[in-house]
Amino acid sequence: MPPLEDSAVWQQLEQFGRDAQHLSIVERFERDPKRAESFTIRSDGLYFDYSKTTLDSKSLKSLHALAKAQKLDEAKKAMFSGEHINTTEDRAVLHVALRAPQSAQYMVDGRNVSDDIHATLNAMERLCADVHSGAWRGHNGQKIDTIIHIGIGGSDLGPYMVCDALKPYAKDGLNIHFVSNVDGAALQSTLQKVNVDSTLFLIASKSFTTEETIKNATSARQWFLQTAKASEDSIAKHFVAMTVNKIAAIDFGIDTDNIFPFGDYVGGRFSLWSSIGLPIALYLGFENFRALLNGAHAMDEHFRSAPMDKNLPVTLALIGLWHRNFCGYDTLAIMPYAQNLQHFPAYLQQVDMESNGKEIDRHGRPLPYGTGPTLFGASGTNGQHAFYQHIHQSKVITPCEFVAIKSPLSSVEGHHNTLLSHVIAQSRALMIGRKNGETIQQPEKYFSGNRPSTTLILEALTPFSLGQLLALYEHKIFVQGHIWGLNSFDQPGVELGKILAKGIAQYIARSKTAQHESSGLDPSTQQIMSYLFEE
Ligand code: F6P
């Protein structure tokens, strides 16, 4: 097979991308009165309009041909059947198994993992029942009323976002806090708020070696023992771990019965469906965690079986490819018009940028084309008063993915219609722009318009629909990574910083006594270190 960029279909798409510049989005609607309907997908409570883009039926057909030429169907099958598609780490990628019914078979290295998954789910359910009923008590008999979740990256962003998004479903009488940053200020300010005797710590780390998490967990443990004036035995009543690395959790001092495992076929950024989702189950109730899994499973089934032109993840992915590779747009804004989805962009940053922010393909070839976009976003309407000026008028064109919720989450009268009027207005303003001399006379107020956006509407924000939304984006990222030829499931780029930080930490520890010792560091780094640490 020729390299992707030399294939006939890729080159045809490049030509279509150039041609597309000659016909604006507005003109496309004028030419095709059915455009809105033709470029909308409705599926299982989701409404997705991508008509405000420069795509047409020709370019869409070629994008489908590109996906076929790249053997997308085979790639999907490979993922769902547990092949080691994470080639660098030689692992299967089966987060989809975590949300499937127990009767489904998911094979990893010849073994059906469904029973393990459901055994962990059952253990999580039991813990939730015990904490909620008060059967689980702290060291001096107090009922648990506070959860502190300690984790970082994929072991934090997903659960944090979901708990905030679905907080109207939260169980009465249970508070939750998340500590991720190794900055002691994060842990300290959290510990100041809680009662040690009624607090349960969840230590979430797939590897159980991540420096930030282990440091925060160690300090939390020390604080617990000192503040509660409790014995080591009491740790079992206040510390629980979620990890693949059971041995490291035991070494840390977690009781074996309090370890909730998952398989290494679950990547960190795809792990909120595993035991890493325990804070979700505790805070929202196990039945709501189950509904979240069900929503994701429904999207998995849709992704597996819907034809390409009706397939939401595939369509979203191909639109992204169109913008990234054939229109030349390097950035992507994710704009949820829902306060409860305020952390969705940050969560998605990890899923997308850690998966597809890569310049080398899965065979080690440096790639000549762009891959994962620079992704940012904020909840609407807050973003409008922050960076939308850039989105409307800068030379950089940023495609926007708007997410809206049809029914309101609050009962505050009149607000929801205002919110919806803004999301509708923004996609329209991006498209139509404002021409000098037509409605205004001042050139500085002119803006070109013709800026693409898509609008995804959820009927309501529920555990089920949130599960659908998250799985939709996971599969979008999988499709894009596959077509670009990437391994979307490793993250070698973040390793170097971790290694260097260890060396620098050792140097800092020594520097007070050996200030003038040659560090072997570059002059800028050396100078910063001198400024920070020399007395
Ligand atoms: O940032 C790198 C990373 O490995 C992420 O992929 C992962 O989600 C995060 O660190 C935390 O890792 P762990 O769950 O092993 O502590």
pLDDT attached to residue 439: 62
The closest residue, in CA terms, to atom 16 on ligand 1 is 205
Tokens of 169: 């479903």
- On whether the pTM is more than 0.85, the answer is yes
Q: Are 508 and 533 in contact (CB under 8 A)?
A: yes
**Helix runs in 234-285, H state only:** 235-238, 246-252, 278-284
CA of 308 to the centre of ligand 1 (A): 33
- Please tell me the distance from the alpha carbon of residue 9 to that of residue 88, in angstroms, as a whole number: 29
Output the ligand 1 site: residues, CB below 6 A: 152-155, 205-207, 210, 213, 268-269, 354, 491, 494
**Tokens 């959790």 sit on residue:** 249
Give residue 519's pLDDT: 62
Unique residue bearing structure tokens 């039926």: 57
Of 229, 406, 445, 498, which residue is the catalytic one?
Answer: 498
Rounded to whole angstroms, the Cα distance separating 56 from 355 reads: 29
In this prediction, residue 497 carries a pLDDT of 86
CA of 38 to the centre of ligand 1 (A): 41
- Please indicate whether residue 27 is annotated as part of the active site: no
Tell me the chain's radius of gyration from C-alpha atoms: 25
Backbone angles phi, psi at 234, to 5 degrees: -70, -15
The size of the chain, in residues, is: 535
pLDDT of residue 448: 87
Centre of ligand 1 to C-alpha 51, Å, is 37
Would residue 385 show up in a list of annotated catalytic residues for this protein? Answer: yes
Q: Ligand 1 centroid vs 210 CA: distance in angstroms?
A: 7
Q: Which of 231, 262, 295, 279 is nearest to 127 (CA)?
A: 279
- Strands ordered across the beta sheet of 453-458: 40-43, 46-49, 453-458, 400-405, 331-337, 374-377
* Closest atom, ligand 1, to C-alpha of 269: 8
Contact 281, 174 (CB under 8 A): no
**Predicted local distance difference test score (pLDDT) of residue 440:** 63
pLDDT of residue 526: 86
Which pLDDT belongs to residue 513?
52
H helix runs in 336-443, sequence order? 344-349, 355-356, 388-393, 415-432
Strand-pair partners of 240 = 202
- Per-residue pLDDT at 502: 83
Cβ atoms within 10 Å, residue 68 = 13
Residues of the chain with pLDDT under 70: 436-441, 511-519, 535
The number of beta carbons lying within 10 Å of the beta carbon of residue 439 is 9
